[in-house]
Amino acid sequence: MAYNGLIEKYGSFLNLPKHTKTISLLEGNTPLIPAPNLAKYFGLKFELFIKYEGLNPTGSFKDRGMTAAVSEAAGRESHTVICASTGNTAASAAAYAARANIKSIVLIPQGKVATGKLAGAIAYGAQVVQIDGSFDDALTMVVDISNKHPICLVNSINPYRIEGQKTSAFEICDTLGNAPDVLCIPVGNAGNITSYWAGFQQYHQAKGTQLPVILGVQAEGAAPLVLGHPVEKPETIATAIRIGKPARGEQALEAADQSGGNITAVSDDEILHMQKQLAGLEGIWVEPASVAGLAGLYKQTKNGTFDPSGKTIVAVCTGHGMKDPDIITRGFGHPQVISPNIAALEKVIL
């Protein structure tokens, strides 16, 4: 049977209202890629898979939740959607709104959005507004304005976002024939970790699959769930998780706790190091925030707080590397220039 998107495939597992009118870009169905070279780099014997969410239509997992949220909005003839975004939500909302013939407005923190994300939002036709403030300020603003005017909020506070994002957990179980032993995942506003846990629990009840241990990972400069209090001025190169006051923080802590896992933090250097290892050892290039889960797993493995031996582990890699090309090219300078002849080429490559 042809693949017709997530709502077609998993609709019976999603709590969406009757009026929902499917708006799909055939999102989801992303590959679960074995990563044996990276597992070897860890120095222990275990099975590692990358759930490569950068291969969604707009380059991040946000499309899973957005197909649900925009389909619900379109079904009740909402004319405008709005979101606060560090970039990927903006691009995704703009794309699905375009397809539904709905206006989209996105609020982004000034100067802190990666090139590929901003370009996406503009290309899909969103009205882009910069806030002289943080993501958390922008989120407060869109919540207030959507309470005041008939504008549909599509941040992950929207329950349909969570419904849609559960599908990644379903796909992992369907591919492996069971849930993994461990799932590691980046945590920003905490909608995604909440969704995975809900999805795994639902499949556990419906299909008897096991429940994985969830390891959630934040960036050290934006780690409110590790510190136990909001962070006023979050800072990290991993802009997608540069969030100081996660909307679903409580649920994230609950998910980690109930699953027997935890939420930890990694430094920007640890994130960049893992981004390089994943690209160099496996040919999978993801944006910095996307490797936070893997970087956290590596850190816990190295300092002995977690032993992956013999386990099946899935690392969720949330967005494509092309979203944030500057982070790579910035450190590289310019490629070497040579004369246009074989002798010059031989000199530099042999």
Ligand X SMILES: *Cc1c(COP(=O)(O)O)cnc(C)c1O
191 touching ligand X, by CB under 6 A? yes
| Minimum CB distance to ligand X smaller for 121 or for 241 | 241
90 touching ligand X, by CB under 6 A? no
Our separate counts of H helices and E strands in the chain read 15, 10
Instruction: Report 281-320 residues binding ligand X (CB under 6 A).
Output: 287, 289-290, 318-319
Only one of the segments 38-46, 182-190, 274-282, 327-335 lies at the binding site for ligand X (rule: CB under 6 A); that segment is 182-190
Instruction: Report 209-248 residues binding ligand X (CB under 6 A).
Output: 240-241
Only one of the segments 68-76, 97-105, 183-191, 259-267 lies at the binding site for ligand X (rule: CB under 6 A); that segment is 183-191
Residue 309 contacts residue 42 (beta carbons within 8 Å)? no
Site of tokens 């806030």: 131
- Smallest distance from the beta carbon of 155 to ligand X, in angstroms? 9
- Smallest distance from the beta carbon of 194 to ligand X, in angstroms? 8
249 touching ligand X, by CB under 6 A? no
The DSSP 8-state label assigned to residue 209 in this structure reads P
Instruction: Report 121-160 residues binding ligand X (CB under 6 A).
Output: 156
Among 157, 162, 187, 255, the residue binding ligand X under the rule CB under 6 A is 187
The DSSP 8-state label assigned to residue 158 in this structure reads S
275 touching ligand X, by CB under 6 A? no
User: What is the maximal distance between C-alpha atoms in the chain?
Assistant: 69
The DSSP 8-state label assigned to residue 239 in this structure reads G
The DSSP 8-state label assigned to residue 237 in this structure reads S
Q: Per-residue string for binding with ligand X, 53-82, x by CB under 6 A?
A: -------x-x--------------------
- Smallest distance from the beta carbon of 188 to ligand X, in angstroms? 3
Q: Which two tokens stand for residue 236?
A: 């990290």
Q: What is the Cα–Cα distance from 203 to 173, expressed in whole angstroms?
A: 8
Q: Which residue is nearest to ligand X (CB)?
A: 319
| Minimum CB distance to ligand X smaller for 245 or for 299 | 245
Residue 72 contacts residue 20 (beta carbons within 8 Å)? yes
- Smallest distance from the beta carbon of 319 to ligand X, in angstroms? 3
Pairing between strand 213-219 and 127-131?
Answer: unpaired
| Minimum CB distance to ligand X smaller for 149 or for 229 | 229
Only one of the segments 166-174, 189-197, 307-315, 341-349 lies at the binding site for ligand X (rule: CB under 6 A); that segment is 189-197
Q: What is the Cα–Cα distance from 233 to 244, expressed in whole angstroms?
A: 7
Q: Tell me the three state secondary structure of residue 111.
A: coil
3-state SS, 303-333, equals CCCCCCCCCEEEEEECEEHHHCCHHHHCCCC
Q: What is the Cα–Cα distance from 168 to 180, expressed in whole angstroms?
A: 13
Among 109, 186, 244, 321, the residue binding ligand X under the rule CB under 6 A is 186
Burial of 232 (0-12, 13-18, 19+ CB in 10 A): exposed
| Minimum CB distance to ligand X smaller for 104 or for 189 | 189
Task: Name the strand (E) or helix (H) holding 106.
Answer: strand 103-109
- Smallest distance from the beta carbon of 205 to ligand X, in angstroms? 23
274 touching ligand X, by CB under 6 A? no
Binding site for ligand X (CB under 6 A): 60, 62, 88, 156, 186-192, 240-241, 287, 289-290, 318-319
